[in-house]
Amino acid sequence: MRKDGPIWALGAMSGTSLDGVDAAMVQTDGITIHGFGPSAYRAYTAEEQDTIRAALGQWPDDAGVAAAAEVVENAHAELLARFAGAEILGFHGQTLAHDPSGRGTHQCGNGALLAEALGLTTVWDFRSCDVTMGGQGAPLAPFFHFACARHIGATEPLAFLNLGGVGNITWVNPQAAGPEAPDALLAFDTGPANAPLNDLILQRRGLAFDQDGSLASGGEVDDAFLSVVLKDGWFDIPPPKSLDRNDFNGLVEGVETLADADAAATLTAIIAATVATAQIHFPAPVSRILVTGGGRHNPVLMAELRRRLACAVDPVEAVGLDGDMLEAQAFAYLAVRVIRKLPTSSPATTGAPTLVGGGQISRPDQPA
């Protein structure tokens, strides 16, 4: 592998929405994006989702973790074997538990096994080093968001909003010297996103998610409950800050007396309202928010965002990026930064006291 210049990196992401594995290739030197390559998706089966869901909140060696890890590893190996031409792999794993101020963070899946199976140097366990150093360990995509802002030619502050299981946002100043600069980035979790909404739809309708917001579109928002949620002191905590998928799992119980459509509409409005609340923490206003993750496919949610935010709200496809693959691409990019000893997080992105370069490196000739 070359020690400088752009290389092709493969990244893989399995998010808290538990839908499946995304994989994508990026050509980069760890600083600039030189090109995007092929991408692919491998859905988890219902049985695989059940196995992973049973391990949520669990820590290494707890019951169910080994079975979940096996599902994650096998699904990744199956998908990643379809790619050719990569010089390095960035493997995020599946987050089962996240408690940075307590037990730490836990992403299941052994990157050394993938390195051996694929014959590819693999960077993994990206978050633990940041947490050990005193950071939140999340979000980790902001350095890539900075590179994306430069790639699309942005000149004014903008934000990238990822709506997966949990919502997270990155404020970007593309005029800064680099992502490490103190004035370049601010990143934090905004609140619950698709996780409680998906849990509601699964519980009430036996479906994975609210397709096209069709259920929410016929409901009315319970503004009283929405107001109660927004009074949670977590929203006033200055960033950086992060959440576990289950930190707001009481939301589904909170709408249990509502009709299905009203419950879906209320949870959808909560997602947008927490994003709007997050703006108070921005160092400067943004003229545009670019939305990535599964939430951007929900027209009801996008309409709620546009109604509550005083700026343009667009899917990242509006600037030529791939919102389904942005996180997988981010871990391809971060893998190159790790192998070249560049930082992957900063005080402004995770709250770590200094710049941190995280990730274990496993090579195919090393025993797993």
- Distance, in Å, from the CA atom of 368 to the CA atom of 172, rounded to the nearest integer, reads 38
Within this chain, do residues 80 and 184 fall inside the same structural domain, yes or no?
Answer: no
DSSP 175-236: TSSSTTSTTTEEEEEEEE-HHHHHHHHHHHHS-SS-GGGTTGGGS---HHHHHHHHT-GGGG
Q: Do 226 and 337 fall into the same domain? A: no
Same-domain check for residues 179 and 300: yes
- Percent with pLDDT over 90 in the chain: 89
For residue 349, give the amino acid letter: T
Instruction: Quote the pLDDT of residue 242.
Output: 82
Domain identity same for 201 and 339: no
- Cα angle 124, 294, 157; round to 5: 80
**Domain shared by 286 and 346, yes or no:** no
What are 281-311's pLDDT values in tens digits? 999 999 999 999 889 999 999 999 999 999 9
Window from 114-118, 327-331, 364-368 with minimum mean pLDDT: 364-368
Single pTM value for the model: 0.92
Per-residue pLDDT at 16:
76
Q: Specify the pLDDT at position 138.
A: 87
**Which pLDDT does position 368 carry in this prediction?**
66
Give CA–CA dist 72/49, Å, rounded: 10
- Residues 106, 184, single domain; the answer is no
What is the 3-state secondary structure of 50-78?
HHHHHCCCCCCCCCCHHHHHHHHHHHHHH
pLDDT tens, position by position, 28-87: 999 999 999 999 999 999 999 999 999 999 999 999 999 999 999 999 999 999 999 999
Task: Let me know whether 293 and 195 are in one domain.
Answer: yes
Q: Are residues 174 and 255 located together in one domain of the fold?
A: yes
Instruction: Please indicate, yes or no, if residue 2 is contained in any of the structural domains.
Output: no
351 domain residue, yes or no: yes
* 324 in a structural domain: no
The mean of the pLDDT values for the chain is 95
pLDDT for residue 185 is more than 70? yes
pLDDT in tens, 102-131: 889 999 999 999 999 999 999 999 999 999
**CATH number assigned to the domain comprising residue 125:** 3.30.420.40
pLDDT of residue 164: 85
User: How many domains does the structure of the chain reveal?
Assistant: 2
Whether residue 205 sits in one domain with residue 349: no
> What's the pLDDT at 248?
85
Q: Does residue 202 fall inside a structural domain?
A: yes
* Domain span holding position 28: 7-136+331-362
Residue 302 lies in a domain: yes
Does residue 195 sit in the same domain as residue 295?
Answer: yes
pLDDT tens digits for 204-221? 999 989 999 999 999 999
Mean pLDDT of 23-29: 98
Inter-residue contact 25 to 85 (CB < 8 Å): yes
Residues 266 and 342 in one domain: no
For the chain, state the CA radius of gyration: 19
- The answer, yes or no, to whether residue 2 has pLDDT greater than 80, is no
Q: Are 343 and 355 in contact (CB under 8 A)?
A: yes
d(CA 88, CA 1): 8
Residue 142 lies in a domain: no
What number is the average pLDDT over the span 171-200? 95
Does pLDDT of 325 surpass 80? yes
Q: Give yes or no: residues 70 and 183 share one domain.
A: no
